[in-house]
Amino acid sequence: MLSPANTNYYVKRKNVIIGIILLTGLLFLLRLFHLQMMDHTYKLSASNNVLRYITDYPARGLVYDRNGELLVYNEAHYDLMVIPHQVRDIDTTEFCMLLGIDRDIFETRLQRARRHSPFRASLFERQISKDTYAGFQEKLFRFQGFFVQPRTLRSYPQPIAAHTLGYVGEVGPEVVANDPYYRSGDYIGISGLERSYEEVLRGQKGMRIRMVDVLNRDAGPYMQGRYDTLSVPGDDLFLTLDHALQIYGEQLMQNKRGSIVAIEPASGEILALVTAPSYDPNLLVGRVRGENYRELQNTPTKPLFNRALMAQYPPGSVFKIVNTLIALQEGVINLNTTYSCPGAYFSGGISVRCRSHPGPVDMLRSIQYSCNTYSCITFRNTIDKPGFGSIQQGLSNWRNHVRSFGLGQVFGSDLPFELSGLVVSPDYYDRVYGSRGWRSLTIISLAIGQGELGTTPMQLANLAATVANRGHYHTPHMVKAIRNQNDTLAGVESQRNQTTVDPRHFEAMAEAMHLVVREGTGAFSRIPGIEMAGKTGTVQNPHGENHSVFVAFAPAHDPKIAISVIVENAGYGSTWAAPIASLMVEKYLNGSIERHWFEQRILEANFLNR
């Protein structure tokens, strides 16, 4: 029989042992709780060993022209993905041979993927072609930790309209950080319509969860696909572009620098947007995009530069359209106002030369023969009109009229990277000359579209459309309609903009521009059977030969097309820009060209070496 002392000893010992067991059990429970509820490392590792999460990338929307001609579609390519934690005992020599890479590249990419996450999939090799994938797929099961992610890349059946369509590239870190939709390795529209309509074209990503066996082979969907989400393809775009006219315009501008912009006046729909030199949009697709982009960027002719939207030229004599309309609106001239032209405008020791033409000239003949003298007198009378308290007020009033034509500002259309051009304010001259140091004669070059003026080819085409519409224009745009996945077509409308000049003055201007082509400076470019109205321009270029400029619309009394053409370093507007415009108009309205000798002259011209 145990004594009370021994009994207490054994009771204490028993309690210590029980306490140790309970404490050990509690520690195990706490560890299990931590592993299951707090630390997801093992769960993630286990899941990634049996489950594969594959992003289901949607096909980007297709792009068609105004007549349903396919301009952009998608082709299948494949991205090779890697989960570093699963990569074990693979034959790297065979792996590298199949992909056409060396071992150093393999190790570098694998280390980069490990730094990103050992347990999550990372991009290892992008945009594997169908041919390479066909050979690699048969041996993929040998390379544990690697799997293929299907993707689509853009393809262009016609190598045209590269600047308008734009291109797609990989998202940058800034986009990933600021937009939760994108992850590293995703694609996004970089330029052109691909950029402007990114959210429309991209669609919606989905997710597929697949089970894999110990040999990295696909073992089917997880839970019968219960947790999968389907991708939603992007919506399709129907452009205002006429692909046949675009092709023809690019042919005419071969071996030239410049642009062609054609607009439907009644709607603001852009029928053709040509910038030259250009490039094949297929060059900026796939794995060769980076190398091709660098090569294009370093080409002296700057084929990546979108001259139609970003080049800014003094408008030259084309600007006489605007100045004359403002003068009519301000009442400083009427249709019967005449001035004599002695071959130049002389005032205050300044002379502005003018070409020989019949005189004296009225408003209509001043446009028909592009009289510099008439324009200079008219401009000065507009700025110095009695009633303005200062030259600053006179120029401000003139500037407001000019800007109502869409000049000196961006249209805010659906084409990105458009520049505004330049229409300076009185403050500029105050800074240069002092508030009392300049007058209308100081800025006389504005009368003939030179000096502190900058216009884009798009703005000049819109000017022609404004006269065609007798005083208003619709904001130029490139997308005509959007078709969603329910096959519903939604039209796109543009804003109507009214100038500050009364419509009745535009009737006289339209007639004057008709005279230009019928028997004036643009007579060389008359089109048999089509009455065209236009205005020639020759833009002074201090760096070489002058630029050839022409704007027009046709038919003169029922306009269907308005157009601007600029050919850099080509000389007179009547010699080169006007013929190109007339061929474009003939092609659009008639569907074919009858003046083959006329066409051949343009096709053979080369101004790249000037």
- Range 528-536 average pLDDT: 96
**pLDDT the model gives residue 230:** 87
pLDDT tens digit sequence for 539-570: 988 778 899 999 999 999 999 999 999 999 99
Tell me what the pLDDT averaged over the chain comes to. 90
Average pLDDT (193-222) is 84
pLDDT at 265 over 70: yes
Rounded to an integer, the average pLDDT of 527-542 is: 93
Strand partners, 260: 274, 565
Tens digit of pLDDT for each residue in 25-58? 777 777 666 656 655 544 444 455 577 777 888 9
Give residue 18's pLDDT: 78
pLDDT score recorded for residue 41: 46
Element holding 33 (H helix, E strand): helix 4-33
Average the pLDDT over each of 170-179, 370-379, 400-409, 573-582 and give the range with the smallest value.
170-179
pLDDT of the residue at 138: 85
Instruction: Give yes or no for residue 218 having a pLDDT over 70.
Output: no
Centre a 10 Å sphere on the Cβ of residue 226 and count the other Cβ atoms it contains: 8
Which of 98-112, 147-161, 176-190, 396-410 shows the highest mean pLDDT?
Answer: 396-410
Confidence bin at 8 (pLDDT 50/70/90): low
Question: Is pLDDT of 226 > 50?
Answer: yes
Residues 324/366, Cβ–Cβ less than 8 Å = yes
pLDDT at 394 over 90: yes
User: CA–CA distance from 354 to each of 262, 319, 358, 430, 448 (Å)?
Assistant: 30, 16, 12, 30, 10
Question: Residue 255: its pLDDT value, please?
Answer: 96
DSSP 367-416: HHTT-HHHHHHHHHHHHT-TT-SSHHHHHHHHHHHHHTTTTTS----SSS
SS (H, E, C) 491-528: ECCCCEEECCCCHHHHHHHHHHHHHHHHHCCCHHHCEC
C-alpha span between 381 and 374 (Å, rounded): 11
- Token reading at 136: 């690699």
Residue 390 has pLDDT above 90, yes or no: yes
Q: What angle (nearest 5°) sits at the alpha carbon of residue 230, between those of residues 229 and 231? A: 125
Q: Which one has a higher pLDDT value, 53 or 451?
A: 451
Tokens standing for 514? 């008709």
Question: 350: how many CB neighbours lie within 10 A of its CB?
Answer: 13
* pLDDT tens-place string over residues 238-252: 999 999 999 999 999
Distance CA 122, CA 502 (A): 63
> Which pLDDT belongs to residue 42?
45
Confidence (pLDDT) at 131: 79
Q: Is the pLDDT of residue 112 over 60?
A: yes
List CB contacts of 566: < 8 A, sequence separation 6 or more.
Answer: 258, 259, 307, 311, 313, 457, 460, 539, 547, 548, 549, 577
Phi and psi torsions of 598, nearest 5°? -65, -45
- The pLDDT of residue 359 is 80
At 449, the pLDDT band (50, 70, 90 cuts) reads very high
Return left, alpha or beta for 385; rule: phi > 0 is left, psi -120 to 50 is alpha, else beta.
Answer: beta
Taking only the tens place, the pLDDT of each residue in 588-604 is 999 999 999 999 999 99
CA atoms in the 13 A half-sphere facing the CB of 201: 28
- Look up the pTM and report it: 0.86
pLDDT digits (tens, 9 = 90+) for 280-301: 999 999 888 889 999 999 999 9
Beta bridge partners, 533, equal 553
pLDDT at 262: 98
What percent of the chain is predicted at pLDDT more than 90?
Answer: 69
- Are 551 and 463 spatial neighbours (Cβ–Cβ below 8 Å)? yes
